[in-house]
Amino acid sequence: MILLTGDWSTPFLINDTDFSPQNGNVFYIDNHTFGYGRSFILGLNSFETITVYVTKLSSWISYDTINTPSPRSLYTTVLTKDSLIIVYGGINSQGLPVPDPILIFNALALEWSRPTNINTPPSSVPFRGHTATLVGNYMVIAFGLFYNNGVVVQSNQIHMIDVSDVNNFKWVKNFTPSSISETANNANGASGAAPQTIEILGGTI
């Protein structure tokens, strides 16, 4: 375990949970991190097992997983519509960024994998302390800490990964939400005007 010192106050836990609408189960991915004020005791998740709340049985069940990745803590997760849990970031036992920052967990097959084809990420992508959410087919990663010439720096950037193709993840700088694009195009089509798009921008090189 790693102890990051600071002030001690009310203890808290850092964990991630994801709900799968396909089978109605809740997947609990433990960050093994305990906090007191600004202090943390970090334990690494080996990902060898995953705890699932089976809603039909109203009970917690622990399952063994396949192809477990390198252990880590302080990562984030999102759940796609295909019941894939994407893990991003994290640190190892030395407090350094893990070598495989993007993981894919198939919640139906209970199997881990890594993207087989992905472009080079921007230099300011964080490795911990960030947030992550899924917007359409894009994993949006905001803020956090990254290395800049060997120095840990607080990021003020927003980065995005296109996760629409599990075999071809892609770091992108902008995207058009499908619902906005379809609404705009339908409205423009009715009036005979040229199609328009609304873009959301983010990220750095």
Structure tokens at 126: 């964080």
Distance, CA of 193 to CA of 187 (rounded, Å): 9
Distance, CA of 130 to CA of 84 (rounded, Å): 20
pLDDT tens string 89-101: 999 988 899 999 9
Q: Which CATH class is domain 25-172?
A: mainly beta
**Which has more pLDDT, 164 or 186?**
164
Structure tokens at 18: 């994801």
Enter the pTM of the model. Answer: 0.75
Structure tokens at 35: 């906090």
The distance of Cα 90 from the centroid of its chain, to the nearest Å, equals 10
Distance, CA of 46 to CA of 78 (rounded, Å): 18
Q: Where are the domains of the chain?
A: 25-172
Structure tokens at 19: 């709900």
pLDDT tens string 130-166: 999 999 899 999 999 999 989 999 999 999 999 999 8
pLDDT for 126: 96
| CA distances, 47 to each of 10, 23, 32, 71, 203 (Å) | 28, 21, 11, 7, 29
Strands 111-113 and 102-106, how do they pair?
Answer: antiparallel
Measured CA angle at 46 (ends 60, 151), to 5 deg: 130
| CA distances, 24 to each of 65, 117, 139 (Å) | 19, 31, 22
pLDDT classification of 18: cutoffs 50, 70, 90: low
